[in-house]
Amino acid sequence: MVVSVNTNAGSMLALQALNRNSRDIATAQLRVTTGLRVNGPKDDPATFAMAQNLRGEIAGIGAVKKSLALGESTVDVAIDGATAVSDLLTEMKAKAVEASQSGLDAASQAALHEEFTSLRSQILTVVGTADFNGKNLIESASTSLKVLSTVDGSTITVSAAHLDITSLAIHTAALDSASAAATAVTVISQAIVTVSSALTALGTASRRLEIQADFTTKLVDVLKESVGNMVDADLASEAAQIEALQIKEQLGVAALSIANSAPKAILNLFQD
């Protein structure tokens, strides 16, 4: 065995082990700090790539969730508007039936006609303000609403329901005479049926959007759990690992000190 002060093999081995141990401690501390076992492609290239793909899917589904939420709100506003129109039509029908009786005095006839036209004007207001995010599904010029429902571009189409007074054919109805009121009863009755059908269609569409939104939320949760299973660190295990590595580090420092002191023994050969 060659004894040399120029080359201390034991010291080099001890230093390599100490450096390796220090790197392991830094890695474990990073995992505890971030909560991730895989912080980058160097840690586990294949797992990191799969996790990034899933994160992209989650981001895309997040955009779909936002679209579904906006679509559902738009439809719900339309439902509220259509419900208000239905209630107003019910009141208008009551006025029309009352005004259709023969022998009604002129003052009462005029009063009923005024109330009738006031209710019709309120329908105009309701329909005109049933707007959400720039979309109104019940006005005369409304078009169908297409709501993004999947990341591949599929959509759910919600048909528009034209519930303005012209589309309902009640814009010329009047109660200024018993015969006109009788005609108005027929027209208003048909309008109520039309609005009820529209409410059914809108309610069905809202329910469909709600179901898709619930499914999308569950899908995001599953994907997040999958990512967590792949990249999350076991913090209890990492804490125990750090404790063990710190003990090894102390032992490594001691070993390095011993290895560095070995060449000093050569001095004994040159003493008396």
- Give the pLDDT confidence score for residue 225 in this predicted structure: 93
User: Cα 151–157–158 angle (5° rounding)?
Assistant: 135
- Give the pLDDT confidence score for residue 4 in this predicted structure: 65
Q: Does residue 42 sit within a domain?
A: no
CB atoms under 10 Å from CB of 133, counted, come to 10
Are 60 and 73 part of one and the same domain? Answer: yes
Which of 18-32, 52-66, 94-108 comes out lowest in average pLDDT? 18-32
Structural domains of the chain, count: 2
- Is the confidence at residue 172, as pLDDT, over 60? yes
- Give the pLDDT confidence score for residue 37 in this predicted structure: 85
Pairwise CA distance, residues 240 & 230, whole Å? 20
Q: Does residue 45 sit within a domain?
A: no
Pairwise CA distance, residues 14 & 260, whole Å? 9
* 204-256 confidence digits (pLDDT tens): 999 999 999 999 999 999 999 999 999 888 888 888 888 888 888 888 788 77
Residues spanned by the domain of 93: 50-231
- Give the pLDDT confidence score for residue 179 in this predicted structure: 92
- Is the confidence at residue 94, as pLDDT, over 90? yes
Pairwise CA distance, residues 134 & 188, whole Å? 29
- Is the confidence at residue 141, as pLDDT, over 70? yes
Rounded to an integer, the average pLDDT of 140-158 is 93
Rounded to an integer, the average pLDDT of 10-39 is 83
* 6-19 confidence digits (pLDDT tens): 677 777 887 888 88
Are 110 and 199 part of one and the same domain? Answer: yes
- Is the confidence at residue 68, as pLDDT, over 80? yes
CATH number for 180 = 1.20.1330.10
Model pTM?
0.77
Are 181 and 210 part of one and the same domain? Answer: yes
